[in-house]
Amino acid sequence: MSGYADLFRLEGRRAVVLGAGSGIGRESALALAAHGAAVVCADRDLGAAERTAELTGSGAEAYGVDLLDTAAVERAAAELGEVDVLVLTAATNVRKRLLDYDRAEFDRVVSLNLGATFDVVRAFGAPMVARGGGSIIAFSSIRATTVEPGQGVYAATKAGLVQLLRTAAAEFGPAGVRVNAIAPGVVETPLTAQIKADPEWYRAYASKSALGRWARAEELAGAVVYLASDAASFVTGAVLAVDGGWTAIDGRYDPPAS
């Protein structure tokens, strides 16, 4: 195959990043723009989206949208026009054990992590299917397969997201639309600030990965560019782990070899 040098280039493609105001979303927007895409930085916090757009230095647009508002998601898909790449990073978590959870907290986590994904995949996926191409990328988590006390509802939504995306991959595939998930481990973002503030908790999570540390948000951006690009032209329905080996190793104990 010729043209390998251009496999990751995204010139001529329009990308929308939902949750671009901070963390992984911001880094995803920056990376997509750096590879040539025209990027729309969308976030509930329009000011944060504008700051990300300014950081790209490539004429990126900013757009305000509340993903918990189904009508607003549908309006965004209509107003933003032709979209080649859709990246969804927005998520929330309530760290409580199941017996301490109340229904309002459950609904809040499910509504954003799973309900908004449903709305986004439908609203942005329909025109991609009609046009005959596109790439949808959403963020799951290692918690879709590995759980711990206090992460039950979050884990359930991330597992549900994977199955929703796999179904979309199956249904959209004949039209040439690819749908994939990225599953990070622990990443230094605003969502994990509570853990990072506790030194013991921070060290425990760092020791759980094979690399012995947390990820930086920018270390997820390469996976986004890959799945958005022609380098992943035959990749759909996949869950790409970017977890520093967390799910590859068995616990923290390193036994003697003999």
End-to-end CA distance of the chain: 47
Token pair for 245: 């080996």
Q: Are 25 and 18 in contact (CB under 8 A)?
A: yes
CA 187 – CA 139 distance, rounded (Å): 12
Of the residues 154, 202, 205, 253, only one is catalytic, namely 154
154 part of the active site: yes
Token pair for 99: 């017996």
CA 245 – CA 149 distance, rounded (Å): 21
Nearest to 92 by CA among 114, 77, 121: 114
Token pair for 145: 């397969």
Q: Are 45 and 19 in contact (CB under 8 A)?
A: no
**Residues marked as catalytic:** 154
